[in-house]
Structure formats: C-alpha cells, structure tokens
Homo-oligomer: A and B are copies of this chain.
Amino acid sequence: MAKRTQGRPAGLSRERIAAAAVDLVDRQGLESFGVRRLASELGVDPMSIYNHIKGKAALLDAVSEAVLTEVSAPATQWPDDWLDIARAMAHGYRDMAVRHPRIFPLLATRAQTSAVALAALERLTAAMRRATLADRAVADAPLVLFGFLNGYLLATLSTDPGGSDAPATPPAFDPARYPTLAALAPLQAGFGGAAEFERMLEAVLAGIAEGATGPPATR
C-alpha cells in the first residue's frame, strides 16, 4: 500500500548513531534527549536504532564513549614529566567538556572503564612511577585528579536546563548575609574561565606532588 522502505539499508551504524546523538544532545540537552527524537533526526524509525544499540542506557554509553575518544587525538606526543602529562590530560579533558557541556554530566556520573580511559590512567601512573614517586601517592593520584576535574567542571559548566544559553554567570550573593562571599565576589570575574582552571589545577597538582615527595600524611 504505502511506500515501504523496510528492507532498504539506511546506512545506520553504531558510530553514525553515536555521532548524531552527540550532536543532538549538544544542541537540545540531555533532558529532552530520547530514542524517538534521535530517530527522527536520523530520518529513521525509532526501533531501527535497536538493531545497533540495545537500549537507551547503551546509547548513552556510546555517547560518552564518543566524546571521551575526542580527548586524546591519536597523534598527540606525550611529554615525559608526569606533571606535564597530567597537565596535558587535564587540559584536553577540559577542552572536551567545554565543547560538550550538556554531555559532560554523563561522563562525570558514569564509571569510566573504556579502553581510552584506562589507557590514559596507565600513561599517567606509569610516568609517576618512573619518577620514583611513592606507590601510595601514584595509586591515589588518578582519583584525586579526575575527582577534582569532574567536580569542578560539573560546577562551572552547569547550565543544564534545556533551552537558554546563560554565559555561565557566577551566582550573586547577598552582602548582608554573606559578607565574605560578597567581598570576594569581584575575584570571581573569570568564573569557569581558563585562568581560573589553571590556578585550581595547579593547586591540586601541588597537593598530589606534596603527598608524593614530601612528608607522607603527617596529619
């Protein structure tokens, strides 16, 4: 009766689906994202997606994996010094988060066990060990570093709700109730900016380095 396109290939693949999903979440946000929306974006029946990805959860996994892969371009030459490696990884990670602020909460929320993620950790910890740092500190470093990165980036990029594009304004404080915060407010001009990130990253790295070389936990 009606025109049928059932058997004809539509060029779907896990990669193409994931790419379209990334694009759609970037534009419309996580809130409104769904299988049906994605399907109509691809000009395809919703259920067709299930032939390549087995459910919405797996779809979100594919999305986060796709953006995570962006972070380390395959041809990047990594430095030798572990601190420089950590800095490079942090910057790449932040750049990705800035490119995909609506997707980032996915990464921070879900446990990352993909090959790219593990490879990055391996690089970092191997370099730290080569520098003969204390094993304890080396083992702790990834959790401290990426804990901070995830939390900080979540806080500075949180313009989650669907529509408007607020330019990441810092919240304004009532000077009567919170005098110190109000007094410090001018210093938060570059909230979420690159310079701020730099300072905080260095603070965290200093903390890691201190624990790795200085007095071990003389609390």
Q: How many copies does the complex hold?
A: 2
**Chain A: number of interface residues, binned into ranges:** 35 or more
Is there contact, CB below 8 Å, between A151 and B146?
Answer: yes
Binary per-residue interface labels of chain A (111-149) against chain B in the complex, 1 for a CB within 8 Å, 0 otherwise:
101010011011001100100000111111001101111
Report the stretch among A2-10, A46-54, A65-73, A172-180 that lies at the interface. A172-180
- State A207–B145 Cα separation when bound (angstroms): 12
* Interface of chain A, main secondary structure: helix
| A74 in contact (CB, < 8 A) | no
Contact B140 A196 (CB under 8 A): yes
Contact (Cβ within 8 A) B200 A140:
yes
Q: Determine whether A167 belongs to the interface, using a CB cutoff of 8 Å to chain B.
A: no
Q: Residue A194 at the B interface, CB < 8 A?
A: no
